[in-house]
Amino acid sequence: MSKPLRGADIVMRVLQRAGHERIFTLSGNHIMSLFDAALETRPDLVHTRTEAAAVHMADAWGRLNGTPGIAMVTGGPGHANAAAALITALGQESPLVLLSGHTETSQLGRGGFQELRQVEMAAPAAKGSWMAERAETIGMEVARALKLATSGRPGPVHLSLPSDLLDATVADNQVLWPEPADWQPEPVGLADAAADAVLALLAEAKRPLVIAGPQLANPTGRALLARIETVLGAPTCISESPRGLADATLGAFADVARRADLVLLLGKALDFTLKFGAPPAFDPACRFISLDPEGLWLDRAARELGDRLVFGCVADTRPAAEALLRRAAGKAIGTPSWRDEARAWMDDRPEDWASLRSKAAGKLHPAEVFRALRPFVARDPETILICDGGEFAQWGQSMLPLLPRRMINGVGGSIGSSLPMALAARVADRRAPVFAVLGDGTFGFHMSEFETAVRRGLPFVAVVGTDARWNAEHNLQIRDYGADRAHGCELLPARYDLVVAALGGHGELVEHPDQLVPAFERALASGKPACVNVMTESIAAPTLRRT
C-alpha cells in the first residue's frame, strides 16, 4: 500500500516531473512543508535575501532559458514583496511561476495568520492569478500555471497554495497527476494563406519595418530576427525599452520609424513605447500589420489605427516568424537598399563619443566607462550582460555591443532587478562572463543579494555608476519644471565597493580613467562577486537623432 502524500509532496513531484530542478526562494511559515518535501525531490533551492529578488531571478531564468523560472515564497508580506517584482517580468514577456504560501482555507475571512487577498494583489501584474482549492488537484494547478506562463505571449503566473492544503494527506490513487501535455504549451501557428498575405504587403512596401516584442530578446529570438532581416529585406528590431522610440540601444530608431511606410508588429503590442502608432512618431500614411498571440491586442490595434491596420491575425510569435520565412523562400521581397540604410541608422553612433571625457575632477563621463568596458564584454560571445536603471545604464545600452544574451529592466520601466538577475545568470551558466551595469540608485534595491552570491559562489562583475543622484528623475524635473525646481533626488557618493567587500565579495573604487581597465581585470580575476564602483558625472542619457 502506497504511503499517503501531502499536498506539498505533490507540488514538488510535479515540478520535478516537469523538469524544474531549480527554485528561487525565501523560506517562511506558510511554505515550510514545501521545504520539507524538497528533501525527497532534491531541487536546488537558491535561497535569497528578499522575495522580490527571488522573482527577479526566476524572471532572468525564464528569459535565458525560455522555460518558466520558479519562485517560491511565503504568504502575506512575503507574497506582497514578491508581487511587486512581477511587473518587470510581465512587461518583458518573461515566463515564470510564482508559488506563494497562503493562509489556511479554514481561516479565510476570520483574520487568519498573514491573511491577505493575494490573488487580487498579483492579478494586475500576471497573466493569471488564482488559489489552489483541493489537495487532490493541486498538481494539476501547478501544471496549469506552467503551461499558461509559456503559452501565447509568455509572462508571469501566480498560484497561491494554502498551508492546510500543503499539509493535507491524499492517497496516491486519489491524486490527479498531470501529464506532459498539461504543462507544455500548444503553439498557435500562422496559416500559409495568412503568411502569403503578409508577404504580399511587405513586397508592395518601399520602406517596411519589422518590430518584434520583448519575448524575442534572447539568443534564439535575435537569430530569428536576423534571418527575417536577410530573407524579407526589411530592417528588424526589438522594442523592449520603456523609452520606446528613444531606446539608446536602437540609435536613430525614431527617424527610421518615422520614414517607414509599412510596419509589421511581430508579437509586439501597439502600446506607449510605439506612441500607439500615431503621428508624428509614424507617418500618417504608414500602414500596419499585427501578428499577435492575443486577440485583445489585435482589437486594441484596430481601435488605435482604424483602416491603417491592413492585416491582423492571432498567431504565436515564433511560429508566425518561421511561417513567413518558409513561405518567402525563393521570393524577392523587400528593398535591400532601405534595409541597409535603416540598419546603418540604428547602428551608427556619434564620432565625438570616442573623445568624450569628464570635466569634473575625480569623476568620469559614462562614455569613458563604457569605452573601457566594451572589450571585456565583447571578447566572449557567450557573455551575459544586464543593463538596469536610468541615465548611466542608457549609455551602456548605447555603447556596449548588443549581445545575444543581454537583458534590460524592460518595458515595465522598474529598476533594481539587475543584481538578482546577475546571480540567476551565473546559476544558469557557470562559465560565461556575467556583467551588470547599473546606477547607484539602482544598486540600493538589492545590494544584500551580494551575500547570496558569496554564499552560493556566484561570481559576476557589477559596474556601478555613482553620481550621487536619482539622475533620470533629476533630468525629468529640469525638463518639465526648470533647473531651479530640481530637488529631492540627492544621494551620497557612497562606497558601495566597501559594502560588497564587507559581504565577502571583491570591491574596486575608480576615480580616474586610467584605473578602469586594471579594476575590471582584478574584478574578473578575483573569482568573487565583484563591484567596480565608478565615481561619475551626472550626465543625461544620450539622444540619437539623424533628422
CATH no., domain 351-535: 3.40.50.970
Grid cell 496516491 — which residue? 172
- How much of the chain exceeds pLDDT 70, in percent? 99
Cα(99)–Cα(30) distance, integer angstroms:
11
Q: To which residue does cell 512596401 refer?
A: 205
Instruction: Write the pLDDT tens digit of every residue in 116-148.
Output: 899 999 999 999 999 999 999 999 999 999 999
Instruction: Please report the pLDDT score of residue 470 as a whole number.
Output: 86
Domain boundaries, the chain: 5-183, 192-347, 351-535
Q: How far is CA 357 from the centre of its chain?
A: 32
Q: What is the pLDDT of residues 159-180, one digit of tens each?
A: 999 999 999 999 988 999 999 9
Whole-number Å distance between alpha carbons of 48 and 51: 7
**Please, how many CA atoms are within 13 Å of residue 114, restricted to the half-sphere of its CB?**
19
User: Which of 189-203, 405-419, 533-547 is predicted least confidently?
Assistant: 533-547
Nearest Cα to Cα of residue 48 among 69, 64, 20, 65: 69
pLDDT at 471 over 90: no
Using alpha carbons, list the distances in angstroms from residue 376 to 371, 380, 453: 10, 8, 21
Per the structure block, which three cell numbers stand in for 378? 565583447
Query: SS in 3 state form for 252-320?
Result: CHHHHHHHCCEEEEECCCCCHHHHHHCCCCCCCCCEEEEEECCHHHHHHHHHHHHHHEEEEEECCHHHH
Nearest Cα neighbor of 488 from 510, 504, 473 is 473
pLDDT more than 90, % of the chain: 90
| Cα(351)–Cα(511) distance, integer angstroms | 25
- Of the candidates 129, 91, 97, the one whose C-alpha atom is nearest the C-alpha of residue 23 is 97
Query: How far is CA 238 from each of CA 68, 90, 485, rounded to the nearest angstrom?
Result: 21, 16, 36
How do residues 259-303 score in pLDDT, each as one tens digit?
999 999 999 999 999 999 999 999 999 999 999 999 999 999 999
Task: Provide the residue type at 15 as one letter.
Answer: L
Calpha distance 25→349 (Å, rounded): 42
User: How many whole angstroms separate alpha carbon 101 and alpha carbon 131?
Assistant: 10
How are beta strands 461-466 and 434-439 bridged, if at all? Answer: parallel
So what's the pLDDT on residue 238?
97
**pTM for the structure as a whole:** 0.96
Which residues touch 97 (CB under 8 Å, ≥6 apart)?
A: 58, 68, 69, 70, 71, 142, 145, 146, 149, 156, 157, 158, 159
The yes-or-no verdict on residue 247 having pLDDT over 70 is yes
How sure is the predictor about 547, in pLDDT bands with cuts at 50, 70 and 90?
A: low
Mean pLDDT of the chain: 95
Cell of 17: 516531473
Question: Does residue 472 surpass a pLDDT of 90?
Answer: no
Q: Do domains 5-183 and 351-535 have the same CATH topology?
A: yes
What is the CATH code of the structural domain delimited by 5-183? 3.40.50.970
The least confident of 62-66, 357-361, 368-372, 543-547 is 543-547
Q: Domain 192-347 class?
A: alpha beta
Of 269, 257, 265, the C-alpha closest to 201 is: 265
**pLDDT number for residue 2:** 66
Establish whether the linkage from the previous residue to 280 is cis, with ω within 30° of 0. yes
The CA dihedral of 82, 382, 253, 264, to the nearest 10 degrees, is -80
Phi, psi of 329 (to 5 degrees): -55, 125
Check if the beta carbon of residue 365 is closer than 8 Å to that of residue 536.
yes
